[in-house]
Amino acid sequence: MKIALKPNSAVPLYLQIKEHLQKQIKRGVLPPATRLPSTRSLAEELEVSRITVVNAYAELAVEGWVQAHVGQGTFVSDLRRGVERAGIGEPFPLTGTGTWQTTLLRPPGVSASNMLADMLHLSQQPDLISFAMGAPATDLFPVRDFRRAINVVLRRDGAEALQYDGAAGYKPLQATIAKYLQARGIKARPREVLITSGSQQGLDLAARVLTEPGECVITESPTYLGALDVFESHGVRVMGVPVDEEGMRVDILERLISRHRPRLIYTIPTFHNPTGVTMSQGRRERLLALARQHHVFILEDGVCSELRYSGTPLPALKALDRQGHVVYLNSFSKILLPGIRVGYVVASGRILERLVAAKQSADLFTSSLMQRALAEYLAAARLEHHLTHVCQVYKARRDAMLEGLARHLPADAHWSTPQGGLCLWVNLSSDVSAVQLYLTAIGYGVAFAVGSVFFPPEGDRPPDADGPDRRPSRSFRLNFAAHRPELIELGLRRVAKALREEMAKRSVCTNRAGEAAAVVTG
């Protein structure tokens, strides 16, 4: 592929490559479904570093010109027209209902999580420090204890542990989880606990049972990326409510409920993903009152709620619920082992019956071996010890990241200080796009999650809203739990270098614009 690069140009090499390929796509020289050369082969042909080509392809993917498929390569999109963006860009319409108000541009039909997955795939370079995934630390997994639990189950139950099981779940595990929840103020009977294949399946089942296509669901803005995908896949409209340091703005929520009559409110009140904030007691009580008043279901996501490092614990919404308005969702992915794929939903009555039926039609049952092994692990009282150790380590890593942000980011940057969970949220006051910063940061060997993909398609934003979501185009999420303090420090230094580079580029562009204006007026 012949590309005439100009090494001495003010335009970076990766943008020169991107612009050349973009023109070829526009002209039809590279038609839809054309496979582009691998990043390695094109880098060798052009005699540039591989990361230069990676950044060029990532720019094309962000704007919808190409799509990267793991194990297959990068292909020209079916989308015939791209969207030119300068600075923060424009919204991109999707098929179906609603419009994603996001500065991370992507082609119709591509979900936010798919785009983020492609970006994360591009970031898997040697020696790269990734703060992008909302995952726990692998170095803390209790592998030995869980292996012992599996061996106990196989010796005790034999082939029964590998047989079909009931859709609702393994009864001893249901009873153990119910007891575990009761100790945390949630009154759940064993038969009200539905075992799921991770919390993501619980989310999907709840959306299937509690919503209909075309109806409105309200979430925090920003919110968990997987929830946005689930709701979009079920054809519901997602309306976002901004958050501040006390969680969801329930004053705005009340207005939205009256206007849009939602069937469901999805919320992460404790250690919210992605911002890390916790909903105050007063707002929890007001949220429940609104649900009762307007006959709306609440889907409470508590997947990180046990990971507390400071502050006073607050009761779950489910613990405060007296009339059955709250369906509670949780899993063992964040606090124990993601790979066992065991989560649960707490509900009752007709809702529980429909959830069990939906579970059976989805995959019949969750792995019997994993359920039995988890029940054995919990019965051995190992979880509390594990949680105590994990929280001590995560607290040290959170503090290391907070100290590093204070050292390396500009004084006008802002970030949340979560009392628990895995992640925190950063807002840049400087006029730098988080998407562009991400692309530059990869070149320095560090990655994060771009903030714009976490925002619902619609929302109601008052002039006084000034919470963690106030700059979606300049925000990003950092996972502080996954790395040791020394890697956190190194990674933040790399982020700072990338940010300085982007700020310098912005300064050059501003100066050139001023010079051009002076010439015109002169």
Using only the alpha carbons of the chain, give its radius of gyration.
24
Q: What is the CATH number of domain 130-138+385-519?
A: 3.90.1150.10
User: 349, 138 in Cβ contact below 8 A?
Assistant: no
A 10 A CB-CB count for 341 gives: 18
- Separation CA 342–CA 439 (nearest Å): 35
What is the Cα–Cα distance from 272 to 276, expressed in whole angstroms? 5
Tokens matching residue 444: 């320095």
The Cα 269–Cα 250 span in angstroms is 12
| Global pTM value | 0.77
Regarding the domain delimited by 141-382, which CATH topology (the fold level of the hierarchy) does it fall under? Aspartate Aminotransferase; domain 2 (3.40.640)
The structural domains of the chain, with segments of one domain joined by +, span 13-88, 130-138+385-519, 141-382
Domain 13-88 sits in CATH 1.10.10.10: yes
CB atoms within 10 A of CB 371: 23
Q: How many other C-beta atoms are found inside a 10 Å radius of the C-beta of residue 387? A: 15
pLDDT by 10s per residue, the chain, length 522: 789 898 888 788 888 999 899 888 888 889 888 999 998 889 889 988 888 888 888 778 767 788 877 567 888 986 433 333 323 233 323 233 333 223 333 444 445 555 556 555 655 666 789 999 889 999 999 999 999 999 999 999 999 999 999 999 999 999 999 999 999 999 999 999 999 999 999 999 999 999 999 999 999 999 999 999 999 999 999 999 999 999 999 999 999 998 999 999 999 999 999 999 999 999 999 999 999 999 999 999 999 999 999 999 999 999 999 888 999 999 999 999 999 999 999 999 999 999 999 999 999 999 999 999 999 999 988 899 999 999 999 999 999 999 999 999 999 899 999 999 999 999 998 778 888 899 899 888 899 999 988 998 766 544 444 444 445 778 999 999 999 999 999 999 999 999 999 988 876 555 544 544 444 445
